[in-house]
Amino acid sequence: MRGVIMHAPGDVRVEQRPDPVLEEPTDAIIRVTATCVCGSDLWPYRGTDDVDRHPMGHEYIGIVDQIGDDVKSVAIGDFVVGSFVASDNTCEICEAGFQSRCTHQVMMGGIGTQAEKARIPLADGTLVKVPGTPTEEQTKSLLAASDVLGTGWFAADAAAVGPGKTVAVVGDGAVGLMGILAAKQMGAERIIAMSRHADRQALAKQFGATDIVEERGEEGIARIKELTNGYGAHSTIEAVGTQESMQQAIGATRPGGHVGFVGVAHGVELDGTDLFVATVNLLGGPAPVRRFLPELIELIMTDQINPGAVFDLTLPLEEAAEAYKAMDERRATKVMLTL
Amino acid sequence: MRGVIMHAPGDVRVEQRPDPVLEEPTDAIIRVTATCVCGSDLWPYRGTDDVDRHPMGHEYIGIVDQIGDDVKSVAIGDFVVGSFVASDNTCEICEAGFQSRCTHQVMMGGIGTQAEKARIPLADGTLVKVPGTPTEEQTKSLLAASDVLGTGWFAADAAAVGPGKTVAVVGDGAVGLMGILAAKQMGAERIIAMSRHADRQALAKQFGATDIVEERGEEGIARIKELTNGYGAHSTIEAVGTQESMQQAIGATRPGGHVGFVGVAHGVELDGTDLFVATVNLLGGPAPVRRFLPELIELIMTDQINPGAVFDLTLPLEEAAEAYKAMDERRATKVMLTL
């Protein structure tokens, strides 16, 4: 099959890869119908994370092609969505809603879903069947649910977003934008997008942002306080993963407020005294997207949300190199790869 | 009046201090009937925090002696308890239950309650009247409510302790012990005290600990996992404030679990990647004791809890130097100073 391999930073190629096979009786093989490039794929692309001939991709929708003997909940031919972490969905951690830290978790990034096919471990726990036949718009949205929507949703949930709340969103990439959509859906009264890019600001408003703050760092924090009677936001979504963005998120949040952080941490060190004084709730990490998938699929298939609008470029899988380049150069927010 | 002054590390004296006066119409002056030495008072005593002729003490119970013109909720002669942070109890932060970060907060440690009298700013928001006449045991418990009980209670609340939960407690000082009492009262199924001192272990068991773990660091974490089917604790109370104790607390907690940290942070740096991977809820800081005071007073005055048992030495205020020494040398867990 054809699949994306990152040979080195900046060097993305579509090559022949071996077809996946069922390795465990709990595996399924899916024919990937769409996949995409994640903001986190840019860390190795830009040389921040090490990479050496690595199969890429962890987001996917597709059709079940083969199933292992123990797979009961999906059948060949089913149209399915799964998250970027395969999980059994039965251990105590999964039952508590933290499937991204399942005792038997398998990171799909190690398998590489930017390919024609993919092995899905723990298929019963991982895959969710989509009812009916999605439209083209719904298809895009289902792909978004696989990671960016589910991650933005978790961030909003972790930040305890709810009716009447003021929400600040640090980061205007796809996950930040999905956090805005989630906050809007969860009933937030005010959603302040921290963004200095006109195109992202427009998308942010489309997804539900009520205010835009262009300032960053201490100035950004001061601006959020100004907009909230000096208190700070009730809920802050952090969707970048840098020292500056974490400090900005914590600083923008009122005492007793909540920070949901989902930007993959790079070089972040939190000072214990600052954290002690801040007195904010912190919850983050790899999002347990699987927890939210049934609800997200329902919202998408009934046209209540349109997260697929975050894809502003669609290319065939064969043009994956251009997809990475467009995201790296900020010409695209999020690129869908079709097969 | 007589009051405690720390002249320098290790140098505690009881001296003549000026009587407090009403400075604002919202102030009250109380005649302190009992006060105590806090574990956090040992940071300057041991030279970790700077100190230079500082009035000491932030825990207190007493009788209202004078009130400012605007004070409505307490009257002269009332027996009252307050927390170590004076708060208006009306701002949005207070209303959300985070009185320790009130917009108008005044730290009582800056005033110094190890003295015959103390000025209580924002008396209406800060002081809670005790109904009836407390027994000697109840008096001790009310004093504990002023900080260590309230702080342990907040830690347990922040750690989302509840029925059926397994709770780990890092730190066997007075606050850790009060965290155990709180966890027991909140219905925890299992309470694992991390302690290697026989006297503290005995107290821990008295307050409700079901298991003792003597190991620390990675070994301590491994032991907690062993006791919890490999998952880790649902809820962990951190009551020390060092790098080791924070790492131990986070490491002992299962993904999706909660860490309530109340040890005043000293030299703590949290690695962003570790925190991201841990996927635990973190909430801590100076405890909003005021939130819990009415409930704690009720539990104490109806003899449902006996936190006063944490005081294992009682001395007159004049012997404050010996009180500090006894705590520093671990001859006492918590010393009450009477007037």
- The CATH code of the domain that includes B319 is 3.90.180.10
Nearest beta carbon to residue B279 from set A98, A255, A278: A98
Contact B294, B271 (CB under 8 A): no
Retrieve residue A216's tokens.
Answer: 């960053």
Place of tokens 């064969």: A318
Nearest residue on chain A to B273, alpha-carbon basis: A265
How does pLDDT run across B219-266, given as a tens digit for each residue? 999 999 999 999 999 999 999 999 999 999 999 999 999 999 999 999
Report helix angle B174-185 to B148-158, nearest 10.
60
| Separation in Å, CA of A244 to nearest CA in chain B | 12
Query: B243 contacts in A (CB within 8 Å)?
Result: 272
Using the 3D structure, point to which of B265, B284, B303 is the last residue of a domain.
Answer: B284
Contacts 24+ apart (CB under 8 A), B332-335: B333/B173, B333/B174, B333/B177, B333/B199, B333/B200, B333/B203, B334/B36, B334/B37, B334/B39, B334/B144, B334/B148, B334/B173, B334/B174, B334/B310, B335/B36, B335/B37, B335/B311
Q: What is the mean pLDDT of chain A?
A: 97
Contact B22, B119 (CB under 8 A): yes
Nearest beta carbon to residue B271 from set A269, A279, A280: A269
Q: What is the pLDDT at residue A65?
A: 98
The continuous run of DSSP H or E covering B7 comes out as: strand B2-8
Which distant-in-sequence residues (6+ apart) come within 8 Å of B63 by Cβ?
B30, B31, B33, B77, B78, B79, B80
pLDDT band at A178 (very low <50, low <70, confident <90, very high): very high
> CA quadruple B218, B221, B225, B231: dihedral positive or negative?
negative
Using the 3D structure, point to which of B284, B303, B321 is the last residue of a domain.
Answer: B284
Q: How much is the average pLDDT of B72-100?
A: 98
Using the 3D structure, point to which of A245, A262, A284 is the last residue of a domain.
Answer: A284
Query: A228 contacts in B (CB within 8 Å)?
Result: none
How does pLDDT run across B52-70, given as a tens digit for each residue? 999 999 999 999 999 999 9
Contact A280 B281 (CB under 8 A): no
Assign residue A129 a region (left: φ > 0; alpha: ψ between -120 and 50; beta: otherwise).
Answer: beta
Q: Are residues B322 and B238 in the same domain?
A: no
Query: B103 contacts in A (CB within 8 Å)?
Result: 230-231
How does pLDDT run across A181-206, given as a tens digit for each residue? 999 999 999 999 999 999 999 999 99
Assign residue A167 a region (left: φ > 0; alpha: ψ between -120 and 50; beta: otherwise).
Answer: beta
Nearest residue on chain B to A268, alpha-carbon basis: B272
Contact A230 B286 (CB under 8 A): no
Q: What is the pLDDT at residue A95?
A: 98
Widest distance between CA atoms in chain B: 60
Q: What is the mean pLDDT of chain B?
A: 97
Q: Are residues B11 and B137 in the same domain?
A: yes
Q: What is the pLDDT at residue A209?
A: 98
Residue range of the domain that includes B194: 152-284
Q: Are residues B61 and B79 in the same domain?
A: yes
Q: How much is the average pLDDT of B18-32?
A: 98
Give the DSSP per-residue string, A53-66.
SEE-----EEEEEE
pLDDT band at B93 (very low <50, low <70, confident <90, very high): very high
Query: A268 contacts in B (CB within 8 Å)?
Result: 271-273, 275-276
Q: Are residues A276 and A168 in the same domain?
A: yes
* Count of CB atoms situated within 10 Å of the CB of B218: 11
* Nearest Cα to Cα of residue A55 among A68, A67, A66, A44: A44
The answer to whether residue B256 neighbours chain A at the CB level (below 8 Å) is: yes
Which distant-in-sequence residues (6+ apart) come within 8 Å of A88 by Cβ?
A94, A102, A103, A104, A122, A124, A125
Query: B277 contacts in A (CB within 8 Å)?
Result: 285-286
Q: What is the pLDDT at residue B261?
A: 98
Phi, psi of A227 (to 5 degrees): -80, -5
Contact A265 B273 (CB under 8 A): yes
The answer to whether residue B47 neighbours chain A at the CB level (below 8 Å) is: no
Whole-number percent of chain A with pLDDT over 90: 98
* Nearest Cα to Cα of residue A48 among A85, A10, A12, A5: A10
How does pLDDT run across B98-122, given as a tens digit for each residue? 999 999 999 999 999 999 999 999 9
Question: Number of residue pairs across A and B with CB atoms under 8 Å?
Answer: 128
Give the mutation candidate from B91, B276, B282 for the A interface (greatest A CB count, under 10 A): B276
Q: Are residues B141 and B6 in the same domain?
A: yes
The continuous run of DSSP H or E covering A157 comes out as: helix A148-158
* Cα angle, residue B73 at apex, residues B68 and B76 outer, rounded to 5°: 55
Q: Are residues B67 and B138 in the same domain?
A: yes
Q: Are residues B125 and B21 in the same domain?
A: yes
Contact B286 A264 (CB under 8 A): no
| Separation in Å, CA of B154 to nearest CA in chain A | 12
Helical residues (DSSP H) of A229-333, grouped into ranges: 243-251, 272-278, 289-301, 320-328
Query: A229 contacts in B (CB within 8 Å)?
Result: 92
Contact A267 B272 (CB under 8 A): yes
Q: What is the pLDDT at residue B90?
A: 98
Please count the structural domains in chain A.
2
How does pLDDT run across A259-290, given as a tens digit for each residue? 999 999 999 999 999 999 999 999 999 999 99
Q: Are residues B73 and B133 in the same domain?
A: yes
Give the mutation candidate from A275, A280, A281, A291 for the B interface (greatest B CB count, under 10 A): A275
Q: Are residues A329 and A270 in the same domain?
A: no
Query: A270 contacts in B (CB within 8 Å)?
Result: 269-270, 272, 275
Nearest residue on chain B to A243, alpha-carbon basis: B272
pLDDT band at B271 (very low <50, low <70, confident <90, very high): very high
Nearest residue on chain B to A101, alpha-carbon basis: B255
Q: Are residues B142 and B10 in the same domain?
A: yes
* Nearest Cα to Cα of residue B99 among B86, B111, B112, B109: B86
Q: Are residues A48 and A90 in the same domain?
A: yes
pLDDT band at A118 (very low <50, low <70, confident <90, very high): very high
Report residue A127 CA to chain centroid gap. Answer: 16
Nearest residue on chain B to A246, alpha-carbon basis: B272
CATH of the domain at B174: 3.40.50.720
* Nearest Cα to Cα of residue A161 among A143, A137, A187: A187
Q: Are residues A69 and A182 in the same domain?
A: no
* Nearest Cα to Cα of residue A276 among B254, B158, B98, B262: B262
* Count of CB atoms situated within 10 Å of the CB of B91: 20
Nearest beta carbon to residue A231 from set B93, B256, B266: B93
Contact A276 B283 (CB under 8 A): no
